[in-house]
């Protein structure tokens, strides 16, 4: 077995992946979802529009955008 393959298997066994650096902090904030309260104004509700943009219905703050093609 090659050394690269052994390193990959070893890192997967430890719960790490090749794209994550050891000691790297993970994002603590959850991904915004439709129906969540707006983090910007605290009054509106997040909802997708026709372009898959997750925005607040009160302040129009964009919380997330993009979609699968």
Amino acid 9: pLDDT: 62
CB-based contact 56:48 (threshold 8 Å): no
Amino acid 17: pLDDT: 65
Model confidence, pTM: 0.57
For the stretch 10-27, pLDDT in tens is: 555 555 566 767 677 777
pLDDT > 70 fraction of the chain, expressed in percent and rounded: 64
**Cβ within 8 Å of residue 36, ≥6 positions away:** 45, 46, 63
For the stretch 25-40, pLDDT in tens is: 777 778 899 999 998 9
């Amino acid at each position: 077995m090659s050394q690269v393959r052994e390193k990959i298997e070893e890192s997967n066994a430890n719960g790490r992946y090749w794209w994550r650096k050891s000691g790297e902090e993970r994002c603590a904030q959850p991904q915004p979802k439709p129906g969540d309260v707006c983090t910007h104004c605290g009054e509106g509700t997040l909802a997708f529009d026709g372009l898959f943009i997750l925005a607040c219905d009160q302040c129009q703050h964009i919380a997330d955008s993009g979609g699968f093609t």
